[in-house]
Amino acid sequence: MAQYAAMRSIGAYVPKKILSNTDLEKMVDTTDEWIVKRTGIKERHIAAEHESTSDMGAKAASLAIERSGIAKEDIDLVLCATVTPDYFNMPSTACIISKKLDITNVQAFDISAACSGFVYLLSIAKAFIESGMKKNVLIIGAEKFSSIVDYTDRGTCILFGDGAGAAVISATSDKKEAIVDIHASADGTYADFLVTPAPGSVHPANQKMLDKKLNFVQMKGNETFKLAVKTLTQDVIEILHTNNLQASDIPHFIPHQANYRIIKAVGDALGMKDEQVVLTVQKYGNTSAASIPMAINDIYESGRLKKGDLMLLDTFGGGLTWASALLPFAGASK
Ligand code: UT7
């Protein structure tokens, strides 16, 4: 019998501390008015000093496992998407999360696809399950982005926040529950649009790289913005067309939460109504690989996401990478 992959559950973790626009006004030359007008962001959450990416990922994952009704002993693959791993670059954050959850003796690894990481993981989980290699895959998008943000750079520090989201993807023979389609792509031509230059083989850790602040994220904001609008829109047009669907068939359009103006421009270009578009950027900022699962968790927890509801995920990030996914929510409604 054919084996399909289904999203059985969702979970998220949001750190307690809030960094508001008013707080940022005291740190860099900016205003609440500018940030809200240009990005839609009002506040973002920041992990505590002692709180690592794996701590947040493990909390989100624990909730996702509990909600899935699947015993953790039955999880056979743990995947984490992050660009702010606990360590550069081993052990993987997925290995550390597995240990924290007491899920041992299973395959575990990280991927680096920046903000597209969670949808990339969805495609990997789908492939492992459909090939029959795995049955229950735990996927996690987790970021302590504050660990690579220069809080003297007003062009980036206003945007990013910390958090984690996770889902259990399981084998099913019921096609109605299955992930419908995923398109994922990349183009390294634009690698310098969003980059954390060090530490790495190009700029190994040393005093010089610290003096030049190469350990912080650098972004060509305006260029990234324009490409994001174009790519996110094109992604949706393609995946809807391939699957003979219209924008009006989608109850939950869940785009990457980078900037309200990007989301609005994409939604308008696609003819989406406001009530179809999921928005969390105002309260979490851009949480990179955690952005999509945190947004899914938001509509799950508010009761808006019901079992069987179709979701359209659409993301874009450093690499450059982009991806879209069409899938029903196969977990129980809250
Ligand atoms: O998650 C991955 C994908 N990431 C994204 O998609 C992010 C995409 N980029 C953006 O969201 C926007 O480009 C930003 C929010 C980062 C910047 O907005 P913008 O409308 O593109 O502004 P800009 O970079 O063109 O800068 C306009 C002006 C500049 O001043 P001048 O040169 O016109 O005098 C900036 O120096 O705004 C200034 N500026 C600020 N002013 C107050 C830049 N940042 C700030 C700030 N507060 N925080």
Question: Is the bond preceding 91 in cis, omega lying within 30 degrees of 0?
Answer: yes
Ligand 1 mean position, distance from CA 19 (Å)? 19
Note whether 258 and 276 are same-domain residues.
Answer: yes
| Active-site annotation holds for 80 | no
Q: Which of 21, 252, 256, 297 is catalytic?
A: 256
137: CATH: 3.40.47.10
Q: Is the CB of 154 under 6 A from ligand 1?
A: yes
Return the best residue to mutate from 219, 225, 235 for the ligand 1 pocket (most ligand atoms within 8 A of CB): 225
The whole-angstrom separation of Cα 110 and Cα 114 is 11
Domain-embedded: residue 298: yes
User: Which pairing describes strands 17-20 and 43-46: parallel, antiparallel, or unpaired?
Assistant: antiparallel
Note whether 100 and 244 are same-domain residues.
Answer: no
313: closest CA among 298, 300, 296, 290?
Answer: 296
Ligand 1 mean position, distance from CA 17 (Å)? 25
What was the pLDDT predicted at 89?
82
Return the best residue to mutate from 222, 235, 256 for the ligand 1 pocket (most ligand atoms within 8 A of CB): 222
Q: Is the CB of 116 under 6 A from ligand 1?
A: no
119: closest CA among 315, 308, 329?
Answer: 315
CB 74 within 8 A of CB 167: no
Q: What is the b/e burial string over 142-157, where b = at least 16 CB atoms within 10 angstroms of the residue's CB?
A: bbbbbbbbeeeebebb
CB 233 within 8 A of CB 269: yes
Q: Is the CB of 262 under 6 A from ligand 1?
A: yes
Given 175, 197, 216, which residue is the final one in a domain?
175
Going by alpha carbons, the residue nearest to atom 35 of ligand 1 is: 155
Parent domain of 211: 181-328
Range list of H helices, 69-174: 93-101, 117-130, 154-157
Domain-embedded: residue 194: yes
Note whether 197 and 88 are same-domain residues.
Answer: no
Domain-embedded: residue 334: no
Domain-embedded: residue 333: no
Return the best residue to mutate from 19, 25, 38, 220 for the ligand 1 pocket (most ligand atoms within 8 A of CB): 38
Given 153, 175, 197, which residue is the final one in a domain?
175
Domain-embedded: residue 166: yes
Domain-embedded: residue 36: yes
What was the pLDDT predicted at 2?
78
| Active-site annotation holds for 183 | no
Q: For the packed helices 53-68 and 93-101, what is the interaxial angle rounded to 10 degrees?
A: 50
The whole-angstrom separation of Cα 139 and Cα 142 is 10
The whole-angstrom separation of Cα 84 and Cα 215 is 11
Going by alpha carbons, the residue nearest to atom 26 of ligand 1 is: 222
Note whether 160 and 191 are same-domain residues.
Answer: no
Note whether 171 and 195 are same-domain residues.
Answer: no
What was the pLDDT predicted at 180?
98
* Dihedral in degrees, nearest 10, Cα atoms 136, 180, 224, 26: -50
Q: Is the CB of 155 under 6 A from ligand 1?
A: yes
Ligand 1 mean position, distance from CA 334 (Å)? 38
Note whether 50 and 189 are same-domain residues.
Answer: no
Note whether 15 and 107 are same-domain residues.
Answer: yes
121: closest CA among 138, 144, 143, 98?
Answer: 138
| Active-site annotation holds for 256 | yes
Dihedrals φ, ψ of 152, to 5°? Answer: -115, 0
Question: Is the bond preceding 214 in cis, omega lying within 30 degrees of 0?
Answer: no
Note whether 186 and 164 are same-domain residues.
Answer: no
Domain-embedded: residue 187: yes
122: closest CA among 261, 296, 248?
Answer: 296
What is the total count of domains within the chain?
2
* Residue 160 per-residue DSSP state: B
Q: Which of 136, 259, 286, 297 is catalytic?
A: 286
Going by alpha carbons, the residue nearest to atom 38 of ligand 1 is: 155
Per-residue pLDDT of the chain (334 residues; tens, 9 = 90+): 779 999 999 999 999 999 999 999 999 999 999 999 999 999 999 999 999 999 999 999 999 999 999 999 999 999 999 999 999 889 999 999 999 999 999 999 999 999 999 999 999 999 999 999 999 999 999 999 999 999 999 999 999 999 999 999 999 999 999 999 999 999 999 999 999 999 999 999 999 999 999 999 999 999 999 999 999 999 999 999 999 999 999 999 999 999 999 999 999 999 999 999 999 999 999 999 999 999 999 999 999 999 999 999 999 999 999 999 999 999 998 8
Given 150, 175, 200, which residue is the final one in a domain?
175
The DSSP line for 208-273 is HHHHTTTTS-EE-HHHHHHHHHHHHHHHHHHHHHHTT--GGG-SEEEE--S-HHHHHHHHHHHT--
Domain-embedded: residue 66: yes
